[in-house]
Amino acid sequence: MTTTAEPTARELGRARIRKEDARLITGRTRWTDNITLNGMLHIAMVRSPVAHARITGINVDAAKQLTGVVAVYSGTDLDAEQSAIPCAWPINAEATPPRHVSIAVDTVRFAGEIVAVVVARDAATAKDATELVEVDYDDLPPVLDMEEALGDATVIHPDFGSNKWVTFPFDSVAAGATTGPTADEAIAAAEADPDSIVVKRRWRQQRLIPAFMEPRSVVVDPTGEQLTMWSSTQVPHVLRTMLGVSLGLPEHKLRVIAPDVGGGFGGKLQVTPEEILSTLVARRMAKPVKWTETRSESMLSGHHGRDQIQDVTVAAKRDGTVTALKIELTADMGAYFGLFTPAVPVFGAFIGPAIYKFPSYAFVCTDVFTNKTPTDAYRGAGRPEATFAVERIMEELATELGRDPLELREQNWIKNTEFPFTNAGGLTYDSGNYEAATEKATALFDYAGLRREQEERRRSNDPVQLGIGVSVFTEMCGLAPSRLLGALGAGAGGWEHAAIRMLPTGKVEVVTGSSAHGQGHETAWSQIVADRLGVPFEDVEVLHGDTQVSPKGMDTYGSRSLPVGGTAVVKCADRVIEKATKVAAHLLEAAEGDIEFQAGRFSVKGTDKGVSIQEVVFATFLSHNFPEGIEPSLDSEYTFDPENFSFPHGTHLAAMEVDTETGRVSIRKYVCVDDVGSVVNPLIVEGQVHGGLAQGIAQALFEEANYDEQGTLVNGTFVDYTLPSAADLPSFTTDRTETPATSNPLGVKGVGEAGTIASTPAIVNGVLDAIRHLGVKQVEMPCTAQRVWRAIQDAQGGAK
Amino acid sequence: MAQVRVTVDGVEYADDVEPRMLLVYYLRERLGKTGTVVGCDTSNCGACTVHLNGRSVKSCSVLAVQADGGEVLTIEGLARDGELHPVQKAFNECHALQCGYCTPGMIMAAVDLLGDNPDPDEQEVREGIEGNLCRCTGYQNIVRAVQSAAKAMQPGAERPAEAPAPVAGGN
């Protein structure tokens, strides 16, 4: 047997550089688009250029005649087989979602919807042939504005009868989360009370595009016993089951592989029309097929995120004590439902009260169809919207009351001594320490010093004004306790699976149902297992993303991998130790109760007798001298279902400079102190925070998917959908406090979305804080120079 | 069809290609150099960055025939004799990548940047790589990696001072 190295010092909390980098920095990568199979055909999609129309004719003759084209299909050709794109969480069990077709049959409902599929021997020919497909459209009025859509002048899904899907209400009294008056009653009482104040605002969560760097790609191989799909997806397991359910394919005859996947951010948490159509075409052709999107296709047809109108009301006593919060949302679903479309805004319902002790709370969300690209999960999914609502309204309340925004927050937040605490949304926060994070953040930021500088600049009428933006956030992640998902009407559980295989030479294979696409699971899971089993970090291999290798999983989204999938790995390792203890006792001729395990070694209490875990593994492999009645294997599995969400929190402070003459906004300083509980790998945690911040800041300052009056996406390329570059962002000062979660043995909380959730309101609060004294009350996101300049001009009654 | 003769990562190739074929597709589809990737169709993202005759280019905006007679270095030829280039090493050590899709282009752009400016300050790095988009890292660790590589490549530093010649033998 072989032992390569002694187990190193404690693995958990160690800034290990990543294992997975080796292939990524040398180009030895396995992106889906790299795959080439014998006889493989290439697919290109013909997409509707119009937002809403009847299809009156499709002529594919010219396309079919192009040399190299093998087939061209219209919706009519494929309709009998295409079934519908599944929605796993329709929120309302009584209503049936409108059918979401992969390829339009008689009506197109958003620009970008597929109307024909071209199959050719090479990708360039397939693309050329799409230009030769002639489609006749009879235009229908495009429904683009959410509020107008509610008037039902034009109904997008006539079968359904209305553009309004459902209204999802939450009331803290009805839910039993608070006693006393409802939010509506408390707001009405406050309006009539001179010692109270009511602040009501309306904001827009603009439409965003996830813009993962690797365009989506699908390869389907129908040859062989199983149909194999490679897809650039976050969710190979969900995809396999859904393909089975949707297309009626036997699940055991499907294998889904997510090879190296280049980012997702929710954008690859989907079962796509292209995956369905690639499967149908491969089956018809009996040959492998590949579809890879262009960036423009990706921006146009991959699902979008956010897009809500938020009406937010807070009531408080004049001394600053909050008495009610009401969040009313109108949410744009786009033309159809994807996997989680109607559920996304509803995620925000429960976390709306955030860090505050609201004695009453109400949330209502109205879901609306429009003739735009469907929306669905995008980094944070529901929680960025809710956090923006509450952190912006608390800022407005502080302004109205003339209070320091941090002080007003502290007056109302849940104190460290009050955990566990059940919020007005019915969630029980297991732990938190907002005081500690805020104290650290204000010190790093020099809050008092920057406030003084702000005063000086105002006094001197400096053309560049300084604003300080505050966001003290918490969020719910680590999706999720299965029974809770069930109660909310989800079509799946929230568990995660792990398996550990102890190889004869002492090496370890860890199989995880989480499906990493940049998060660093191969490194972090190795650390967990090395720590738990006392084996060298280098001896652990983490396998994921292939349903044949990892048959069971719920995949990666909602900052769930570590709190749920990581916990499954821990519990699984404990099973290995439990089994190995029996074998060690036999080998050491001692009673099982006298065996203790530490740092990879089983020893007999009070003696120097012991065996290494590798020796136990090898003895198990041989099984020559083995205890009777015991299975000769240490391999283990565990499926972990969390008892609660995890609740990361933190304090984010942004010093924003606004040039009042040009409207140009820049980030002078950004400090955040996040509490993500115990940390497995601080390097990875910090990286997740950086990336999260960049995306939250991008919403505040740079990005918006814009449609014209005809429903055409006008900035669907990287030329004009302005993803921030390195030159657009500053370096961030990040730090941590560590308040361990009590809901899992690692004490960890999710970290993937925290930065995005927290940063957007911090930036916008900072921009407004810089120019509010000029009379500016609001700047819509993204706060571009033009918008900021216009807001200042309007407030000053200047140039129009 | 047009003929193209090109040295890629130290190996000479001669091929007939369609005149419209972009260098990136020639590398990926004809030569199997799939380490270089395509991220957009408007030459904004830089994921396809390689070196052509010693300078970084976005290989989605160069025709294969334009590389005729030239020398191309891709991410796959950057390491020498199994030894990573200091920029590759720094990307690993500074956690300058997450999903890794932008990484080949980002590294090739950074190597070229350091050729022009061996000791860039933070702002110079940020401006120097602004033609390469990353959606995962927020760029902070990329900037740190480029500056760390610059230090390692200084004359007298432990690591070799010069970037490998563009016509590397591959590995």
A185 and A315 share one domain: yes
B54 and B111 share one domain: no
* pLDDT of the residue at A799: 52
* pLDDT of the residue at A798: 65
| 3-state class percentages of chain B: helix first, strand second, coil last, to nearest 5 | 35, 15, 50
Tokens of residue A704, six digits: 């918006």
A659 and A675 share one domain: yes
CB A441 within 8 A of CB A351: no
* pLDDT of the residue at A91: 87
Q: Which residue of A has its CA nearest to B84?
A: A26
- Among residues A182, A478, A448, A525, the alpha carbon closest in space to that of A351 is found at A478
* pLDDT of the residue at B171: 31
Strand A322-334, strand A305-317: pairing:
antiparallel
Instruction: Look at B139 and A726 and tell me if their CB atoms are within 8 Å.
Output: yes
Q: Report yes or no on B13 lying in a domain.
A: yes
Strand A428-429, strand A421-422: pairing:
antiparallel
B50 and B67 share one domain: yes
Rounded to 10°, the helix B103-116/B140-153 angle is 50
Name residue, tokens 């929710």.
A266
DSSP state of A215: P
* Interface with A, mutate which of B8, B33, B48, B99 (most A CBs under 10 A): B99
* Percentage of chain A modeled with pLDDT above 90: 96
DSSP labels, A558-589: TT-IIIIIIHHHHHHHHHHHHHHHHHHHHHTT
Q: Largest Cα–Cα distance in chain A?
A: 91
Residue ranges for chain A with pLDDT beneath 50: 1-8, 800
* pLDDT of the residue at B161: 44
The CA-atom distances, in angstroms, between B2 and each of A761, B5, B18, B23, B63 are 55, 10, 6, 13, 11
Residue B143: CATH number of its domain: 1.10.150.120
Collapsing DSSP states into helix, strand and coil, what is residue A478?
coil
A687 and A784 share one domain: yes
* pLDDT of the residue at B169: 31
A169 and A310 share one domain: yes
The CA-atom distances, in angstroms, between B37 and each of A32, A126, A693, B32, B103 are 11, 20, 26, 11, 10
Collapsing DSSP states into helix, strand and coil, what is residue A666?
strand
A535 and A654 share one domain: no
Instruction: Look at B98 and A729 and tell me if their CB atoms are within 8 Å.
Output: no
pLDDT tens digits, residue range A459-505?
999 999 999 999 999 999 999 999 999 988 888 999 999 999 999 99
- Among residues A718, A730, A267, the alpha carbon closest in space to that of B133 is found at A718
- What count of other Cβ atoms lies within 10 Å of the Cβ of residue A430? 21
- C-alpha to C-alpha distance for A323 and A370, rounded to whole angstroms: 36
Instruction: Name the domain boundary from B42, B77, B112.
Output: B77
Distance between B140 CA and the closest CA of chain A, angstroms: 6
B96 and B124 share one domain: yes
* Interface with A, mutate which of B21, B81, B139 (most A CBs under 10 A): B139
Instruction: Look at B138 and A684 and tell me if their CB atoms are within 8 Å.
Output: no
* Interface with B, mutate which of A17, A19, A20, A24 (most B CBs under 10 A): A24
Q: Report yes or no on A14 lying in a domain.
A: no
Q: Report yes or no on A33 lying in a domain.
A: no
pLDDT tens digits, residue range B63-94?
999 999 999 999 999 999 999 999 999 999 99
- Among residues A331, A763, A675, A306, the alpha carbon closest in space to that of A475 is found at A675
DSSP state of A539: G
Instruction: Look at B93 and A17 and tell me if their CB atoms are within 8 Å.
Output: yes
B40, B99, B103 member nearest A718 (Cβ): B40
Q: Report yes or no on B163 lying in a domain.
A: no
Distance between A704 CA and the closest CA of chain B, angstroms: 16
Distance between B156 CA and the closest CA of chain A, angstroms: 25
A245 and A203 share one domain: no
Q: Report yes or no on B127 lying in a domain.
A: yes
What residue numbers bound the domain in which A246 lies?
Answer: 39-140+213-263+268-301
B16 and B52 share one domain: yes
- What count of other Cβ atoms lies within 10 Å of the Cβ of residue A169? 14
Chain A with chain B: Cβ pairs closer than 8 A: 174
Residue A670: CATH number of its domain: 3.30.365.10
Distance between B148 CA and the closest CA of chain A, angstroms: 15
* pLDDT of the residue at A2: 39
Domain count along chain A: 4
Instruction: Name the domain boundary from B77, B94, B114.
Output: B77
Instruction: Look at B38 and A215 and tell me if their CB atoms are within 8 Å.
Output: yes
* pLDDT of the residue at A5: 45
User: What average pLDDT is seen over chain B?
Assistant: 93
Instruction: Look at A295 and B41 and tell me if their CB atoms are within 8 Å.
Output: yes
A124, A212, A687 member nearest B135 (Cβ): A212
Q: Report yes or no on B30 lying in a domain.
A: yes
Q: Report yes or no on B164 lying in a domain.
A: no
Strand B11-17, strand B2-8: pairing:
antiparallel
* pLDDT of the residue at B70: 98
* Interface with A, mutate which of B101, B122, B143 (most A CBs under 10 A): B101
Instruction: Look at B75 and A520 and tell me if their CB atoms are within 8 Å.
Output: no
* Interface with A, mutate which of B30, B135, B146, B147 (most A CBs under 10 A): B135
Residue B34: CATH number of its domain: 3.10.20.30
Instruction: Name the domain boundary from A609, A640, A671.
Output: A640
Q: Which residue of A has its CA nearest to B32?
A: A34
Distance between A528 CA and the closest CA of chain B, angstroms: 19
Instruction: Name the domain boundary from B59, B77, B95.
Output: B77
Q: Report yes or no on A487 lying in a domain.
A: no
Q: Report yes or no on B168 lying in a domain.
A: no
Q: Report yes or no on A775 lying in a domain.
A: yes
A593 and A733 share one domain: no
Beta strand ranges found along A48-113 (DSSP E): 53-59, 69-74, 107-108
Contacts of A32 (CB under 8 A, 6+ apart): A217, A218, A219, A230, A231, A232, A259, A261, A292
| Residues of chain A positioned with their CB less than 8 A from the CB of B133 | 213, 718, 723, 725
A295 and A435 share one domain: no
Instruction: Look at B28 and A34 and tell me if their CB atoms are within 8 Å.
Output: yes
The CA-atom distances, in angstroms, between B66 and each of B5, B57, B62 are 10, 12, 6
Contacts of A549 (CB under 8 A, 6+ apart): A511, A543
Beta strand ranges found along B22-118 (DSSP E): 49-52, 55-58, 71-73
A214, A717, A723 member nearest B99 (Cβ): A214
A592 and A666 share one domain: no
Read off the amino acid at residue A403. R
B19 and B48 share one domain: yes
Distance between B5 CA and the closest CA of chain A, angstroms: 22
- Among residues A177, A685, A698, A670, the alpha carbon closest in space to that of A471 is found at A670
H helix intervals, A369-446: 383-401, 405-412, 434-445
Q: Report yes or no on A9 lying in a domain.
A: no
Q: Report yes or no on B90 lying in a domain.
A: yes
* pLDDT of the residue at B167: 37
* pLDDT of the residue at A307: 98
Collapsing DSSP states into helix, strand and coil, what is residue A622?
helix
DSSP labels, A151-214: TTSS-SSTTT--SEEEEEEEETTTTTS--SS-HHHHHHHHHT-TTEEEEEEEEEEEEE----SS
Half-sphere exposure of B133 (CA within 13 A, CB side): 24
A109 and A223 share one domain: yes
CB A679 within 8 A of CB A739: no
B107 and B131 share one domain: yes
Name residue, tokens 């404990």.
A574
Q: Does pLDDT of B160 surpass 90?
A: no
B27 and B69 share one domain: yes
B110 and B146 share one domain: yes
* pLDDT of the residue at A96: 86
| Residues of chain B positioned with their CB less than 8 A from the CB of A672 | none
Domain count along chain B: 2
Q: Report yes or no on A544 lying in a domain.
A: yes
CB B159 within 8 A of CB B114: no
Contacts of A12 (CB under 8 A, 6+ apart): A527, A528, A531, A678, A679, A680, A746
Instruction: Look at B127 and A727 and tell me if their CB atoms are within 8 Å.
Output: yes
Read off the amino acid at residue A422. T
Residue A75: CATH number of its domain: 3.90.1170.50
* pLDDT of the residue at B158: 63
Name the β-bridge partners of A684: none
pLDDT tens digits, residue range A106-133?
999 999 999 999 999 999 999 999 999 9
Q: Report yes or no on A15 lying in a domain.
A: no
B116 and B140 share one domain: yes
Q: Which residue of B has its CA nearest to A27?
A: B35
A295 and A323 share one domain: no
| First and final C-alpha spacing in chain A | 81
- C-alpha to C-alpha distance for A458 and A327, rounded to whole angstroms: 34
Distance between B25 CA and the closest CA of chain A, angstroms: 10
A109 and A194 share one domain: no
Name residue, tokens 């197109």.
A108
CB A721 within 8 A of CB A705: yes
What residue numbers bound the domain in which B32 lies?
Answer: 2-77
* pLDDT of the residue at B165: 41
* pLDDT of the residue at A95: 82
